[in-house]
Amino acid sequence: MDEWIHAQEEEIDYRICMQKAFRRYPIELAACSDLRDREKERRFFDDCKLHFEHIRETVKDTFRAPGYELEKKDAVLEPSYICEALGLQGRLDYMQRDMSSFIEMKSGKADEYAIRGKVEPKENNKVQMLLYQAVLQYSMGMDHRKVRAYLLYTRYPLLYPSRPSWAMVRRVIDLRNRIVADEYGVQLRNSLEYTAQKLAEINSSNLNERKLSGHFWETYLRPSIDNFQSKLKTLSLLEKNYFYALYNFITKELYTSKSGDVDYEGRTGAASLWLSTLVEKCESGEIIYDLRIKENHAADEHKAHLILSQSAMVEEDFLPNFRQGDAIILYERNNEADNVTNKMVFKGNIEYLTEYEICIRLRATQQNTSVLPEDSLYAIEHDTMDTTFRFMYQGLYTYLSATQSRRDLLLSQRLPEFDESLDYLISQSTNDFTRIALKAKAARDYFLLVGPPGTGKTSCALKKMVETFHAEKDTQILLLSYTNRAVDEICKAISSIHPEVDFIRVGSELSCDEAYRTHLIENELSACIRRSEVYERIRDCRIFVGTVASISGKPELFRLKHFEVAIIDESTQILEPQLLGILCARGRMGGMLLINLS
C-alpha cells in the first residue's frame, strides 16, 4: 500500500517491492516452515502477486471512482489516536488529511458464507472500523455519520464502506469493560485462590457465548482454549501456585504501567499522558514542547526522520527525561488545550538528542508535507508499549510446556547437576577466571556468578566463558542483558577475544553503540537475497547477543537455532517472568545451560 500511495505516475515493480519486504522480514520468512514446502511456497508467492495487483487496482482506479473520492496526494499513513473517553488507542492504515475518510487493510478472508454468493466483512473487522469512527468522534470531534470508513480486503479486492452502529459499539465497549474488570480484580486481590478461580473460567464452554460450531471452531479455536486447561491441570499444587503468583505479578505490573501507582508521588504510567498537568510533566522532564521543524525528511523511504529545534525549551532548571532510542509520540501543540487525546499522533524513536536539537526517526514515511506543517509547533512525550508484558505472559505459558525436570529445577524440587569429571582441572587452575569458566562448563543446569561492580564479571569472566564454550565445536551461545548499554559492554568484551569470534547482535540501530552496528542482524543479513542464505548465516553464527526484550521479540530465531548456553549479565536487574521463557527453553540435551552474572 505504501508503495502505491507514494508512486507518482510510474508503475511499481513487483519484484523490487518483494525484495524490500524480504529485507524487512528476512528471519520471519526464513523461519516459516510452510515455505519449505514447494507447493505452499508457490501458492504463497502467487498470493503475494495477487494482493499486489489488487492494491494497485484499488489505488489507481477505485480511489477515483464516483462515491469514493479518495485522494492519495492528501494521504496520512499510520496515524495514531489516543481516546481517553473510550479508553482506546489505535493506528489507522490510511487516512485523508482532513479525516473525512480512512481505510483499514485486511489481507485475510472476509466472511464468504454469511450470505450465499456474496462476500461480507467479518464481524470483528466491522467492529474495529466502528471503534475507529468512535475514537475520531470522541477525540477529534468528527461526526461519525460524515466520516467515510472503508475496509479493504486485498484478497478480492473489496473496498467495503463501513456503516456506523452505536449499538454494536456499546456491546464491544461492554466486553472490553468486562476484560478490564477481570484484570483489575486480579491485581487488586493478588490472591492465588481468586486467580485460580478466574483462570478456571477459561474453557471452551464458557468462552463460546455465541454457540459457535463448525470447522473453524472445532479445528482452531476450541483445541487451543482447551489445551491451556489441560496443561494447567497436570501441574502439582506447588507448580500451580507458582503459576498463579507470577500471573498476579505480571497483571499488577501491567495495570501499574497503564494507570500508575497512587502510593507514589506524582503521576506515572500511560495515563499520565492525559492526567498529568503541563507543570507536572515539565517538573519530571516527561515532555518537550514548542518544538519547530528544522528539517523534514519524513518522506525518506529508508529512514524517515524529522529534525526539530528546541531553543525555546533550553532553561537552566529543565532536565528532560529523554535519551537516544526512546520510543516517543509526536503531535502538534500550538496552544494549552492541545494534547495527545485531541491531536493526530505520530510514533517514532529518538535518533539523537542535543541541547538545541532533537532528531526523531518516524515509524512510517509521510510523503504529504501538509501532514507535518512547518509553521506548527510540536511536542514529544514518552510512548508506552505492551510488548514486554506480552512476552512475560508468553513465557509463563511456556512454563506450562516445560519438562518436569526443568520445572522441578526452577522450584528447587531437585538439585542442579554438575559434571564431576572437570573437578581436577578446576582444582589445578591457577587463574581465577579460567577456574570460573571451567566451573560454568561443569554445570549442567545453571551457574551463578555473584560479585560487586568492577570485579571483572563482564570484561573478564564473561569473556573467558565465551572463549571456553566457543572452543567446543557446534556449541551455540546466547548472551543477554537487561539494558542496551550493558549489551554494548558484552559486545566490547567479546570483540576483544583473539582470534576474533563471529557474533550477531539483535536489536535496534538507535540503541546500539556505533562501534557494533555492523554486527546488527539487519546489517548482517542485508546482503542476503534468498531465504536459504539467511538460514545459512544464522546457522553458521554461533554467538547471538541482545537484550532480553529484543531477543524475546524475535521468536523466529529459536525456530532456526537451538542454544546450548545462555549467559545473562547483570541478571538481578531482570524480572523472573522476563526470563521464564528462556529458563524453560529446550536445547539439544533437553535444557539450556543458564549462567547468571549479577
Domain coverage including residue 521: 414-597
CATH code of the domain covering residue 462: 3.40.50.300
In the numeric block, the cell 478461580 is attached to 197
Among 259, 285, 306, identify where a domain stops: 259
* Tens digits of residue pLDDT in 11-49: 889 999 999 899 989 999 999 999 999 999 999 999 999
Among 226, 259, 292, identify where a domain stops: 259
The answer to whether residue 19 is domain-embedded is no
| Mean pLDDT taken over the chain | 90
Q: What percent of the chain has pLDDT over 70?
A: 95
Distance between CA 506 and CA 545 in Å, rounded?
6
In the prediction, which pLDDT does 588 show?
A: 38
* Tens digits of residue pLDDT in 531-548: 999 999 999 999 999 999
Torsion of CA 451, 453, 455, 460, to 10 degrees: 100
| CA angle at 65 for the pair 62 and 70, rounded to the nearest 5° | 70
Same domain, 453 and 571: yes
Question: Would the CA dihedral through 450, 455, 459, 460 be positive or negative?
Answer: negative
- Which range among 265-269, 354-358, 540-544, 582-586 has the greatest average pLDDT? 540-544
Look up residue 460 and give its DSSP letter.
I
Amino acid found at 564: E
The pLDDT-based confidence of 591 (bands split at 50, 70, 90) is: low
Distance between CA 63 and CA 391 in Å, rounded?
40
Strands, E assignment, 122-169: 148-153, 158-162
Same domain, 52 and 93: yes
State the average pLDDT over residues 226-242. Answer: 95
Residue 312 clears pLDDT 60, i.e. is over it = no
In the numeric block, the cell 461480507 is attached to 120
The answer to whether residue 557 is domain-embedded is yes
Lowest mean pLDDT among 9-13, 125-129, 370-374, 557-561: 9-13
User: DSSP letters of 494-541?
Assistant: HHT-SS----EEES-GGGS-GGGGGGBHHHHTTT--SHHHHHHHHHH-
Among 259, 292, 320, identify where a domain stops: 259
Q: What percent of the chain has pLDDT over 90?
A: 65
Amino acid found at 192: L
Same domain, 435 and 562: yes
The upper half-sphere exposure of residue 299, i.e. CA atoms within 13 Å in the direction of its Cβ, equals 13
The answer to whether residue 11 is domain-embedded is no
In the prediction, which pLDDT does 163 show?
A: 81
Same domain, 341 and 301: yes
> In the chain, count of helices (H) and strands (E)?
24, 21
The answer to whether residue 395 is domain-embedded is no
The answer to whether residue 22 is domain-embedded is no
Same domain, 47 and 102: yes
Residue 595, beta-bridge partner list: 447, 567
In the numeric block, the cell 463448525 is attached to 214
Q: How many domains is the chain partitioned into structurally?
A: 4
State the average pLDDT over residues 336-355. Answer: 93
The pLDDT-based confidence of 263 (bands split at 50, 70, 90) is: low
State the average pLDDT over residues 359-379. Answer: 90
State the average pLDDT over residues 179-204. Answer: 94
In the prediction, which pLDDT does 456 show?
A: 92
* Tens digits of residue pLDDT in 125-182: 999 999 999 999 999 999 888 899 999 999 988 888 888 788 998 999 999 999 999 9
Amino acid found at 466: V
Distance between CA 394 and CA 577 in Å, rounded?
9
The pLDDT-based confidence of 262 (bands split at 50, 70, 90) is: low
Same domain, 361 and 470: no
Same domain, 153 and 174: no
